[in-house]
Chain A
Amino acid sequence: MAIAEADLSGRRVLVVEDEARIAMLIRDTLEDMGCEVVAIATRFDDALQKACSLPFDVALLDVNLDGEPSYPIAAALAERGRAFVFATGYGASNVPATLNKAPVLQKPFLRRDLERALRQALI
């Protein structure tokens, strides 16, 4: 368990979340876990640009960005071979089949769920 915990420390995370208060909690939680939050993107265009240009190890992707699905961003990440985790209030069943290998976090989520999902994505 201690080894698995260590896996996440120092990892760089891109957070894509349109709801600022949720993004704040995610940032705090990730920093508590020893991760580095490289950026928080709240808009689709900004998120896509950051996903394609910033250096990071794993992205946490809110599925619904102000009404717009973030699947194209996930597809771009998959194309680049980047790890990512979905966060959603919808069921996991809505995720397109081509992207459903990524872990899906159900909102609201616990810190240990977030840890598990990130580790799973980083394997």
Chain B
Amino acid sequence: MGGTSQAGPPRGPRGNHEIVQGHASLRVREARLQHIIDSAKEYAIITLDRDGRIASWNKGAQRLLGYAEAEVLDQPGAIFFTPEDRAAHAPEREMARASKQGRAANERWHLRKDGSRFWGSGVMLPVADGEPDAYLKIFRDGTAERQSEERQRLLLDELNHRVKNTLAIVQSIAMQTLRGAASTAEACEALESRLVSLAKAHDILTAGKWRGGDLCELVAGALEAYSDGAHPRRFHVQGPPVHLRPKALLALSMGLQELATNAVKYGALSNSRGQIEIHWEVAPPHFRFHWIESGGPPVEPPRRRGFGSRLLEEGLAQDIAGAVHLQFAREGLRCIIEAPVAEITGSEG
């Protein structure tokens, strides 16, 4: 290390020259910094004086908020806060928090010049040590992330609601199946069949992304398990395509399952000759669906109304805001389901 006096710079004119040079390089640095700040187009970089008035405003701020720097210099920083936040003194509180804690989160809705809103995501920092004499605010448009978080929260809420609701349906099916059963074996069989039917209905809903599905497919799916190769002509199905909304789809699926189970135990599917004719019409504003059994053992009207009948006449009818008629004709059970078209399709037309 050179410790000689020769190495030290002489004072005098040369020093002044350095100061001038220093000023020049400071200006260059400042210009360069401004350039960096302005090229950060994604970020609004704003300085506020100690009273919260706007002292500088970069290109990113102009792009994000719509005001040019000249329009907002010396204006209160609160101009791009929402009226609710202004009323709650959020601008002042943000500055106070930044002074006290060294930084404050800037996570809030902001207002553009045209009055539209975006989610500003960033921070506010105090400038200078001790008592701050200015504040730096840096934020970007976080609306997309904000909305995606919001969507996720809503989805979780909705999922929770559906799970709880489904458990309540299972509870209802279990309680009423057990209550109406003559034996444990009968209860087990009926409960299992109803739970599987509920699960199947959910499969159809999931396959259609919970937007509903077509009645023809629903009927075909419900009968599939009963269409054995030995009796291919048991079912006669006819009807136009009808798009069902999720609720109607679920309700009709459970209703068909109930009818099919009954047919297997007592009706047209309990022997080898029985047949079931299924047809439906859409004559706006009415929808009518027929399930007509024939060829099974002679039908006796039930001595008491079971849960199966109630599920159809009360449950299904309520779910589709319509009516369900069960006719225990001697030649076979008939079920007629009527509902407003708008109710089952979800469309107004």
Contacts and interface: CB of A to CB of B under 8 A. Distances in A.
A108 B163 CA distance: 10
A21 interface: yes
A74 to B, nearest CB: 17
Nearest to B318: A20
A91 to B, nearest CB: 8
Nearest to A28: B176
Given A89-B162, A90-B161, A24 B172 contact: yes
Contacts of B319: 19-20, 42
A contact face: mostly helix, strand, loop, or mixed: mixed
B163 to A, nearest CB: 7
Interface residues of A, number: 22
A60 to B, nearest CB: 13
Contacts of A106: 164
Interface residues of B, number: 28
Nearest to B251: A20
Interface stretch (B36-44, B62-70, B309-317): B309-317
A68 to B, nearest CB: 12
A22 interface: yes
Contact of B171 (A23, A64, A108): A108
Contacts of A66: 247
Contact of B165 (A20, A43, A89): A89
Contacts of B314: 20, 24
Contacts of B165: 19, 22, 89, 107
Contact of A108 (B161, B167, B310): B167
Interface in A78-99: 88-91, 94
Given A24-B310, A25-B175, A66-B247, A89 B318 contact: no
Given A42-B321, A90-B157, A90-B161, A24 B315 contact: yes
Interface in B125-180: 157, 160-165, 167-173, 175-176, 179
Interface of B: 157, 160-165, 167-173, 175-176, 179, 247, 251, 310-311, 314-319, 321
Interface of A: 19-25, 28, 40, 42-43, 64, 66, 88-91, 94, 106-109
15 contacts: A20-B314, A21-B169, A21-B173, A21-B311, A22-B172, A24-B314, A24-B315, A42-B318, A89-B161, A89-B162, A89-B164, A90-B157, A107-B165, A108-B168, A108-B171
